[in-house]
């Protein structure tokens, strides 16, 4: 801030006090008299007099010259620290060894100008191999947005509708998608956008699909039980629905105010398109728990008009060697539904890979705390059944599967029946 008084006025006021101090009762009286005549406060004049005495060596203190040097050093030090901070922020594009595009530099300036200022950033970058003038930035800032920038803004707002929580604090299920599936999903919605655009905007905004967690073993093999043969031999690709059903179950931790207990979810999956045709939640791992999922699958296919026990299907029910699936009672249940039992090898990571993959998706997409299907803590079986029902419906009718050319399982089955049996309608739910 500029001084209110020029140097001549200050020097005159100090000189009047020092030269005529003997004409007054005290120095303070001289200061009051002179300050009143010249129009400044007595305290201001007193400080000037003290500083003049220090500069003349008549009093102890920091001289004006030393004070100026200290201020200059502080200014240079602050400028150096600011330059270091600017260069730290610009490390990402400075380390490339070449001058970035002007638009990239201008976006960097726009992002950090509130913290450092435009001119200091331009000065620091220019001194380190990225010459740019403040007027270049201001011309860029006044320029109308390009078509690409406008399109990026439109697509970013669209993606934010999926990846950011809505009014209720929950995200849409499509927030589970990575860039490739999100691109495919938008294509199916009629939005023609490049895949690289989705990848770039998701990376810029820190959006990413969900990643699977470590698998936990839940079924324990019963080595003493008589087991059915392995009729699948890891060949999970089948030519039609109802030829191969795979089954498995997993645990889910339930939270309560007192302690934590476990519930279990069993799935029956049709290997043709990976559709979940039966599921059941229970707090017990008893054999009847997995039998209910099998019965539900058989009833579901019957309601569709595609019963699993149709002679042409020769349907197989494949599972791991867990004690629930090797029990005599379950084998009898399978025969009643027209299913041939098949048990995978013991201790083999691939003995029931398709079912384990689906369960991995279930744990990752539905059960995790940040899942868009969660409505709060899982305090009871009713909460677990509610989110499982939501997830299974979305999984079957909406979730895009890479192996199905990015179609949902229900759509893949419907396409199959449309091509092979045009006279028979197929329900999607």
The confidence score (pLDDT) of residue 348 equals 58
Q: pLDDT digit string (tens) for 263-299? A: 999 999 999 999 999 999 999 888 899 999 999 999 9
Copy the structure tokens of residue 386: 């509610």
Copy the structure tokens of residue 130: 């990225």
Q: pLDDT digit string (tens) for 367-426? A: 998 899 998 889 889 999 999 999 999 999 999 999 999 999 999 999 999 988 655 555
Q: How confident is the model at residue 53 (pLDDT cuts 50, 70, 90)?
A: confident
Pick the most confident of 93-97, 312-316, 343-347.
312-316
Q: Where are the alpha helices (DSSP H) in 189-262?
A: 195-205
Secondary element (H or E) of residue 318: strand 316-319
The confidence score (pLDDT) of residue 87 equals 84
Q: pLDDT digit string (tens) for 88-105? A: 888 877 776 678 888 889
pTM of the model: 0.69
Q: pLDDT digit string (tens) for 156-166? A: 999 999 999 98
Give mean pLDDT, residues 354-376: 92
For residue 246, give the 3-state DSSP assignment: strand
The confidence score (pLDDT) of residue 244 equals 93
Do the domains spanning 7-61 and 244-420 agree at the CATH topology level? Answer: no
How far, CA to CA in Å, does 140 sit from each of 110, 134, 147?
A: 10, 10, 15
For residue 270, give the 3-state DSSP assignment: strand
Q: How confident is the model at residue 3 (pLDDT cuts 50, 70, 90)?
A: low
CA distance linking residue 193 with residue 200, whole number of Å? 12
The confidence score (pLDDT) of residue 2 equals 46
The confidence score (pLDDT) of residue 258 equals 55
The confidence score (pLDDT) of residue 349 equals 53
CA distance linking residue 44 with residue 39, whole number of Å? 10
Mean pLDDT of the chain: 86
Q: Who contacts 280 (Cβ-Cβ below 8 Å, separation ≥6)?
A: 265, 266, 289, 290, 292, 293, 296
Q: Which residue has the higher pLDDT, 373 or 213?
A: 373
CA distance linking residue 213 with residue 227, whole number of Å? 31
What b-and-e string marks burial along 264-292, b requiring 16 or more CB atoms within 10 Å of the CB? bbbbbbbbbbbbbbbbbbbeebebebbbb
Copy the structure tokens of residue 306: 């595609």
Copy the structure tokens of residue 139: 């011309």
Q: pLDDT digit string (tens) for 216-262? A: 455 555 545 566 787 888 788 899 999 999 999 999 998 865 556 88
What angle is formed at CA 283 by the lines to CA 281 and CA 289, rounded to 5 degrees?
55
Q: How far is CA 290 from the centre of its chain?
A: 35
The confidence score (pLDDT) of residue 201 equals 95
Domain range list for the chain: 7-61, 66-142, 147-205, 244-420
Pairing of strands 260-270, 340-343: unpaired
The radius of gyration of the chain's CA atoms, rounded to the nearest angstrom, is: 38
The domain made up of 244-420 has a fold known as Nucleotidyltransferase; domain 5 (3.30.420)
Architecture of domain 7-61: Orthogonal Bundle (1.10)
First to last CA, the chain: 75
Going by C-alpha positions, the residue among 223, 251, 269 that lies closest to residue 367 is: 251
Q: Contact, 243 vs 268, CB < 8 A? A: no
Q: Who contacts 398 (Cβ-Cβ below 8 Å, separation ≥6)?
A: 173, 408
In this predicted structure, the answer to whether residue 63 has a pLDDT above a threshold of 80 is no
The confidence score (pLDDT) of residue 1 equals 39
Backbone dihedral angles phi then psi of residue 219, each to the nearest 5 degrees? -90, 135
In this predicted structure, the answer to whether residue 318 has a pLDDT above a threshold of 70 is yes
Secondary element (H or E) of residue 335: helix 328-336
Q: How confident is the model at residue 61 (pLDDT cuts 50, 70, 90)?
A: confident
CA distance linking residue 95 with residue 122, whole number of Å? 17
CA distance linking residue 101 with residue 351, whole number of Å? 54
Backbone dihedral angles phi then psi of residue 100, each to the nearest 5 degrees? -70, 170
Other beta carbons less than 10 A from residue 404's beta carbon? 18
């Amino acid at each position: 801030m500029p001084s209110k008084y020029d140097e001549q006025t200050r020097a005159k006021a100090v000189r009047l006090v020092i030269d005529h101090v003997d004409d007054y009762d005290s120095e303070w009286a001289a200061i009051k008299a002179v300050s009143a005549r010249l129009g400044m406060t007595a305290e201001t004049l007193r400080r000037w007099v003290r500083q003049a005495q220090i500069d003349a060596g008549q009093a102890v203190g920091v001289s004006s010259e030393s004070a100026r040097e200290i201020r200059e050093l502080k200014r240079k030090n602050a400028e150096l620290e600011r330059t270091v901070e600017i260069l730290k922020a610009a490390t990402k594009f400075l380390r490339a060894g070449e001058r970035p595009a002007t638009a990239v530099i201008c976006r960097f300036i726009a992002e950090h100008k509130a913290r450092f200022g435009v001119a200091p950033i331009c000065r620091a970058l220019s001194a380190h191999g990225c010459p740019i003038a403040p007027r270049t930035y201001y011309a860029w800032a006044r320029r109308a947005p390009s078509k690409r920038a406008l399109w990026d803004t439109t697509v970013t707002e669209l993606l934010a509708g999926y990846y950011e929580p809505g009014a209720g604090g929950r995200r849409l299920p499509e927030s589970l998608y990575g860039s490739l599936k999100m691109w495919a999903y938008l294509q199916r919605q009629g939005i023609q956008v490049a895949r690289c655009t989705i990848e770039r905007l998701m990376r810029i905004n820190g959006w990413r699909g969900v990643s699977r967690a470590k698998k936990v073993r839940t079924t324990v093999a019963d080595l003493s039980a008589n087991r059915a043969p392995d009729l699948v031999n890891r060949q999970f690709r089948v030519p039609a629905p109802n030829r191969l059903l795979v089954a498995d179950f997993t645990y889910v931790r339930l939270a309560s105010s007192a302690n934590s207990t476990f519930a279990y979810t069993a799935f029956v999956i049709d290997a043709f398109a990976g559709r979940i045709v039966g599921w059941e939640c229970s707090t017990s791992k008893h054999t009847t728990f997995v039998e209910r999922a099998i019965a539900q699958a058989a009833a579901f296919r019957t309601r569709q008009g595609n019963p699993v026990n149709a002679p042409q299907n020769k349907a197989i029910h494949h599972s791991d060697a867990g004690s629930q699936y090797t029990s005599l009672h379950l084998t009898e249940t399978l025969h009643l539904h027209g299913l041939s039992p098949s048990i995978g090898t013991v201790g083999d990571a691939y003995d029931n890979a398709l079912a384990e993959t689906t369960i991995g998706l279930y744990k990752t997409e539905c059960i995790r705390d940040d899942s868009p299907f969660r409505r709060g803590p899982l305090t009871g079986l009713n909460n677990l059944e509610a989110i499982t029902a939501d997830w299974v419906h979305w999984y079957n009718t909406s979730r895009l599967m890479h192996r199905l050319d990015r179609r949902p399982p229900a759509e893949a089955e419907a396409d199959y029946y449309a091509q092979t049996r045009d006279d028979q309608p197929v329900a999607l739910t």
